[in-house]
A = this chain, B = another copy of it.
């Protein structure tokens, strides 16, 4: 018997679903040394999760993969609400926007099968030289108990045994991997979570929901078949979601007795197969007809609890993300979005620590930010699901809130736009009034500005890509006003002082600069000369923007007022994941110094 081969890696990702792939793609872009393994032999081919929220589209766009997502996915603009009519069948109660978050850059949801989403990540990673190692699963994982080793970010304190199946000789092969960090993105039944004995809150008390799911291309006379439909009927409730390629998905909430085996208490697929599920859906949709034109493409039954893991990390060395740490009903379509956004939140923090740019303490904000969000999501999901499973008409109110009203009230939440991270080393809630609509702890909302040099309108979000750099937005006010020009020049002097964050952390190392300065002036395009700005505020000519209307008269000129920035200007620090970290006045560089000093390393 040969000894197992041994190797080292900075980050080992276990599980190549949406969370694992989002993290792997992000770290690959950041040039972090990583591996990603999955026990499955291939990516998901059909079915599984499919809904993508407006905020998640923004995140895809920030990684340069938004265009493809938009090209391949189905857009959902309208939510239709059906209730029982006077003759027993369902009838349209109302239609409303599916997305109600007013600041959404993409004011719609997308639907694309999980395999399509995974393919976008896989192709993006492949170009960067990273591929999923399939048929590979971990069999042991241990963290060193040596506190010195754990405190040293350059150490490899995690030992994982990987077993590779399906070798050409038919024998599994073992490998020992020593990792700096491990991400368990291994799903609702997470082996990583279980191995570290992390409990799921609500595990024994939470209510379970049983869902049946059908994918098909429908033949139907149901007029809202291309909209998202929340259907209350006397024959049960269901949720219909349009899909790419003329398809639809129907989620059907089922009663225990219809699905569970009375002896085992587990799902009994003999009691409820695709034909029976279709019959249930057909009854719910009555008087409208529904027939698959080409059979049922995919179906499943599952029991889901509303639960969140008691912790999201072990010693800030092993992390869990996605379904491994929170599970939801499919109703609000949040599961996959939360999973991918967990990974988006974690990736830049891992990259900063691996690069030696940040203290290990940065990593603790992953749990504080994402667990809080998961808990809010569970709370929301419970209300929403209860509402959804409630009896129609007479009881579709909770405290006077109708189904549609609830849907819209929660719009900020289901869109992902409203996510708010609380105070931490990377969220310093000061000087909010200087930019009242760039909410500290929330993502930068979209807004168009012109480049000073060529009046080309750009979406500011596109200038805040997920490139693992902090963005420093310098709102100078009107730079043609000599008072504001003086203030901006004074800012530059402060930035050039030896004690400023820029001097301390800003010297570009081998992995490039940590800061990207974007200057935004109120000057008019007819009058501006981008060369007037101090060189530090125009590292490249494309980095100077103006808040003016474009030559076509269609966009721009509303940024200062929309963001609530006054004529005195402000400096807005944007985290690498697109969330506002803190705000300072133009003469407040010391405040920014303090912000970065709390976690950044020289």
Contact = CB atoms under 8 A, between A and B. Distances in A.
A32 interface: no
A95 B454 contact: no
Contact of A454 (B67, B75, B554): B75
A95 B525 contact: yes
Interface string A430-449: 00000000000000000000
A513 B104 CA distance: 40
Contacts of A554: 107
Given A78-B551, A107-B552, A223-B531, A454 B242 contact: yes
B107 A454 contact: no
A279 interface: no
A531 B525 CA distance: 50
A94 B524 CA distance: 13
Of A78, A96, A526, most buried by chain B (CB within 10 Å of CB) is A78
A134 interface: no
A550 B77 contact: yes
A395 interface: no
Contacts of A457: 77
Contacts of A299: none
Interface in A224-279: 225-227, 242, 246
A537 to B, nearest CB: 15
Given A242-B454, A454-B242, A530 B76 contact: no
Interface string A377-389: 0000000000000
Interface string A525-551: 110011100000000010000000011
A220 B457 CA distance: 23
Interface in A533-579: 541, 550-552, 554
A166 interface: no
A221 interface: yes
A132 to B, nearest CB: 26
A534 to B, nearest CB: 14
A454 B531 contact: no
Contacts of A529: 223
Contacts of A526: 94-95
A226 B454 contact: yes
Contacts of A108: 456, 551
Contacts of A10: none
Interface in A98-130: 98-99, 104, 107-108
Interface string A443-465: 00000000101111100000000
A75 B542 CA distance: 13
A98 B525 CA distance: 13
A78 B454 contact: yes
Contact of A78 (B98, B455, B531): B455
A98 B551 contact: yes
A66 interface: no
Contacts of A226: 451, 453-454, 541
Contacts of A454: 75-78, 226-227, 242
Contacts of A96: 551
Contacts of A104: 552
A530 B531 CA distance: 56
A89 interface: no
A124 to B, nearest CB: 15
Contacts of A47: none
A292 interface: no
A107 B553 CA distance: 10
A389 to B, nearest CB: 26
A390 interface: no
B223 A97 contact: no
Interface string A67-93: 100010001111000000000000000
A294 to B, nearest CB: 16
A97 B552 contact: yes
A455 B96 CA distance: 11
Nearest to A528: B223
Contacts of A530: 223
B456 A75 contact: yes
A138 to B, nearest CB: 40
A542 to B, nearest CB: 8
A223 B533 CA distance: 11
Contacts of A550: 77
Contacts of A71: 67
Contacts of A77: 454-457, 550-551
Contact of A525 (B78, B107, B221): B78
A531 B221 contact: yes
5 contacts: A77-B456, A78-B525, A104-B552, A107-B552, A223-B529
Given A76-B454, A107-B551, 11 more contacts: A75-B454, A77-B550, A77-B551, A78-B454, A78-B525, A95-B525, A95-B526, A98-B551, A226-B454, A242-B454, A246-B541
Closest 6 CB pairs between A and B? A97-B551, A226-B454, A226-B453, A107-B552, A223-B529, A77-B455
